[in-house]
Amino acid sequence: MRIDILTILPELLEGPFSASIMKRAQDKGHVDIHLHNIRDYSTDKHKNVDDYQYGGGAGMVMSIEPIVTIIEKLQKERFYDDVIFMTPDGTLLEQGVCNELSLKKNLILLCGHYKGIDERIREHFITKELSIGSYVLSGGELAAAVLTDAIVRLLPGVLNNETSALTDSFQDNLLSPPVYTRPPEYRGWKVPKILLSGNFPEIEKWREKKAQERTQERRPDLFDK
């Protein structure tokens, strides 16, 4: 899979992809992540990438030209399944969307900033708009990092059996049950006896019950699904 991220702050995205699972996924060739600095495509003499909005009002708007230049350059090189705009007014990101996107071959993620992007970019190039939650971030970069991480960990070969994405919270609309490791007792706080019993069918039942209780308590919206 290939992911091209269009941003005015590429340095914000270098960190999240240079460690742990995301780094290994790239090193092993499961994903190819390319960062593009929108400013490099500005033809403005000051390398501006934003401008005042027509009709007046506070807040700058990201200009159409540099963004269209990169998108069209990339689309000439290969077919893109989706051109995704990261914006707080997009569709709320959920596991199902991540699962679907993990099956695609090439994606473009555009990180929004300022008051937004010239609406004509959305009309003519954007195929999906995604938000990562009901709060406002300074820009779409961290959201793009979240989306990329959520997709990449689903790619075959990225996780091993032990960390398999199939047992993640949300894959079955259930939160994970509590987990414990050694020691069996710490300051008098004991690990539930059942987990030390070696009775695996009973342990599985216990985990299922705890997962259901936790989901009902914390995320009744998921439980109803």
List residues binding ligand 6GU (CB under 6 A).
86-88, 90, 112, 131-133, 135-137, 139-140, 143
Rounded Cα distance between 198 and 63, Å, is: 62
- Minimum distance, C-beta of residue 86 to ligand 6GU, in the bound complex (Å): 4
- Minimum distance, C-beta of residue 128 to ligand 6GU, in the bound complex (Å): 11
Both tokens of 67, joined, read 């963004």
Q: Which is nearer to ligand 6GU, 43 or 138 (CB)?
A: 138
Would you list the DSSP string of 20-40? HHHHHHHHTTS-EEEEEEGGG
- Minimum distance, C-beta of residue 33 to ligand 6GU, in the bound complex (Å): 17
- Minimum distance, C-beta of residue 147 to ligand 6GU, in the bound complex (Å): 8
Q: Shortest Cβ contact with ligand 6GU: which residue?
A: 143
Rounded Cα distance between 79 and 184, Å, is: 54
Q: Which is nearer to ligand 6GU, 70 or 117 (CB)?
A: 117
Smallest Cα–Cα separation from 111: which of 5, 15, 12? 5
Letter string b/e over residues 162-192, b meaning 16 or more CB atoms within 10 A of that residue's CB = eeebeebbbeeebbebeeeeeeeeeeeeebe
Smallest Cα–Cα separation from 140: which of 22, 18, 49, 9? 9
Q: Which is nearer to ligand 6GU, 132 or 165 (CB)?
A: 132
Residue 82 neighbours by CB under 8 Å, 6+ apart = 101, 104, 107, 108, 127, 128
Q: Which is nearer to ligand 6GU, 133 or 178 (CB)?
A: 133
Q: Which is nearer to ligand 6GU, 118 or 159 (CB)?
A: 118
| Helix 141-152 vs helix 20-27: crossing angle, to nearest 10 | 60
Q: Which is nearer to ligand 6GU, 149 or 172 (CB)?
A: 149
- Minimum distance, C-beta of residue 95 to ligand 6GU, in the bound complex (Å): 16
- Minimum distance, C-beta of residue 84 to ligand 6GU, in the bound complex (Å): 9
